[in-house]
Amino acid sequence: MHKLILKPGREKSLKRRHPWIFSGAVGKLQGKPESGDTVEIHSAFGEFLAVAAYSARSQIVARVWDWEERAIDAAFFRERVAFAVNERRAYLYEDVTDAVRLVHGESDGLPGIIADRYGDTVVLQLTSAGAERWRDTIADRVLEASGASRLWERSDADARELEGLAAKSGPLRGSREPTRIAVTENALAFEVDLERGHKTGFYLDQRENRRRARELADGRDVLDGFCYTGGFALNALKGGARSVVAIDSSGDALDLARANGSRNGLAGVEWVEGDVFQYLRKLRDQARDFDLVVLDPPKFAPTAAHVTKAARAYKDINLLAFKLLRPGGMLMTYSCSGGVPLELFQKIVAGAALDAGVRVQLIERLGPGPDHPVALNFPEGDYLKGLICRVASG
Ligand code: SAH
């Protein structure tokens, strides 16, 4: 067995069960592991700490599979995948949706592995060398545990580059067609494009927030910034919004959004292809105003290194949103930047309100649903932060 021996004192985070070993913590490597191989992690004093997947190219040189001395083999993946999939059953998602995250990476003890279920299809995304090594086993075990009939791969996330892995996507098990499937979420149908959709095809982590938008939208003029395939916009309309303007820069996403509108018999959204930063300014210059604004931008800060620039971008759009809100209006604002902790995000939004000259109260904090659990020893998993704010009237 290959062994990775840490520098003295560098075992602390592992003892708190944080699953990543950074290259700077490595004292010595025994054996000649290749990327994806299983290595034992030992402290400088020879204490066994974990078994992990080695990654030669990444800053994260190993990711923990288990804290016990055990073989990493097909039986390991069968057990762990089945556990993750069964956990989702406890939440009775079948009453709500047929689109659910089944495996959520490190938080499910499966680093680098994401599996999302869309009806009868599972989309798998593998982002680490260890996950890549076990690709076929993982595909079979996910299919078996979920009972789905097909499996697609969308291993084309940027994270793969850091691991020295090429992008891979396409059908992995079962039929190639159809490449577009309809899922139902809270009685609204959405088309998911397996080939060209973002990430695995749909932003499952916003399900509960889209539902909340529906509850808050009644009688309101709504603006949905970064609307993708219409998730928030259509929920708002379903919830009785008086009008909805929805903006995205992706023409493909808007085509699906329009199709989703028709599919649900929901007409009347004003779909705008454009840049939110510019379009919000345009709306401000036209003196348009709204009662509910949703801002769900892409990740501005994937890591802490991008925080300053990201903070400026978050402040900009939130400030503009506050300017567009009527007194008593609500802002649902999100960050999915791993590099921006909740406290900082709240501070940025507070700064935006101050500069916009409005008095704002925080009404609710909303993260993702329970199919996106966060292992408490893995704060990096807590990436999606949502704040619902109300602009004081008068
Ligand atoms: N709220 C959506 C998910 C949004 S994902 C849902 O519930 O499904 C972020 C979206 O922002 C993507 O669709 C992307 O195309 C879009 N986007 C990224 N940069 C943008 C920009 N500057 N202006 C407008 N849209 C942008």
Asked about 227 being catalytic, the answer comes back as no
CA dist., res. 186 & res. 239, Å (int): 12
Angle at 359 (CA atoms; ends 353, 362), nearest 5 degrees: 80
Residue type, 205: D
Residue 42's pLDDT band, with cuts at 50, 70 and 90, is very high
Calculate the average pLDDT of the chain: 96
| Residue percentage of the chain with pLDDT more than 70 | 100
CA 300–ligand 1 middle distance (angstroms): 11
| C-alpha–C-alpha distance, residues 180 and 192, integer Å | 6
pLDDT at site 301:
83
Best residue for ligand 1 mutational test, from 249, 252, 332 (most atoms within 8 Å of Cβ): 249
DSSP-assigned letters across all residues of 247-301: EES-HHHHHHHHHHHHHTT---EEEEES-HHHHHHHHHHTT--EEEEEE----S-
Q: State the distance from the centre of ligand 1 to the C-alpha of 368, rounded, in angstroms.
A: 17
Q: Whose CA is nearest to atom 23 of ligand 1?
A: 275
pLDDT at 61: 97
Binding site membership of 280 for ligand 1 (Cβ less than 6 Å)? no
Collapse the DSSP code of 228 into the 3-class scheme (helix H, G, I; strand E, B; otherwise coil) and give the result: coil
How many angstroms does the Cα of residue 390 sit away from the middle of ligand 1? 23
* Residue 247 Cβ contacting ligand 1 at under 6 Å: yes
- Predicted confidence band of residue 238 (pLDDT cuts 50, 70, 90): very high
CA distance 239 to 289: 19
Which residues, listed in sequence order, are joined to residue 361 by a DSSP beta bridge? 390
Q: Take atom 10 of ligand 1 and give the residue whose Cα is closest.
A: 226
pLDDT of residue 259: 98
Q: What is the predicted pLDDT for the residue at 352? A: 98
pLDDT tier at 92, thresholds 50, 70, 90: confident
- The answer on pLDDT for 338 being more than 90 is no
Whether the CB of 248 sits within 6 Å of ligand 1: yes
Mean pLDDT of 293-318: 93
Tell me the pairing of strands 2-6 and 26-30.
antiparallel
Q: Which of 228, 244, 296 to mutate to test the pocket of ligand 1 (most atoms within 8 A of CB)?
A: 228
Task: Confirm or reject: Cβ of 296 under 6 Å from ligand 1.
Answer: yes
**Amino acid identity, position 246:** A
Residue 394 has pLDDT above 80, yes or no: no
pLDDT tens digits along 373-384: 999 999 999 999
- The answer to whether the CB of 231 is under 6 A from ligand 1 is yes
Ligand 1 centroid from CA 276, angstroms: 9
User: Which ligand 1 atom sits closest to the C-alpha of 224?
Assistant: 1
Is the per-residue pLDDT at 59 higher than 80?
yes
Averaged pLDDT, 66-71? 97
| Tokens linked to 136 | 């076929």
Contact (CB, 8 A) for 138 and 77: yes
pLDDT of residue 294: 98
Pocket test for ligand 1, best of 183, 214, 226 (most atoms within 8 A of CB): 226
What pLDDT, on the 0 to 100 scale, is given for residue 157? 87
What is the band of 91 on the pLDDT scale with cuts at 50, 70, 90? confident
pTM: 0.97
CA atoms of 288 and 269, how far apart (whole Å)? 16
Residue for token digits 């769900």?
Answer: 296
- Could you tell me how many helices (H) and strands (E) the chain has, helices first? 11, 20
CA 125-197-231 angle, to 5 degrees, is 110
Task: Please pick, among 313, 336, 353, 387, the residue that the annotation labels catalytic.
Answer: 336
Q: What is the pLDDT of residues 201-226, one digit of tens each?
A: 999 999 999 999 999 999 999 999 99
User: In this predicted model, what pLDDT tens digit does every residue of 148-200 receive, in sequence order?
Assistant: 999 999 999 888 988 999 999 999 999 999 999 999 999 999 999 999 999 99
Q: How many CB atoms lie within 10 A of CB 367?
A: 17
Ligand 1: nearest atom to the Cα of 294 = 1
Ligand 1 neighbourhood includes 47 CB (under 6 angstroms): no
The pLDDT value given to residue 211:
97
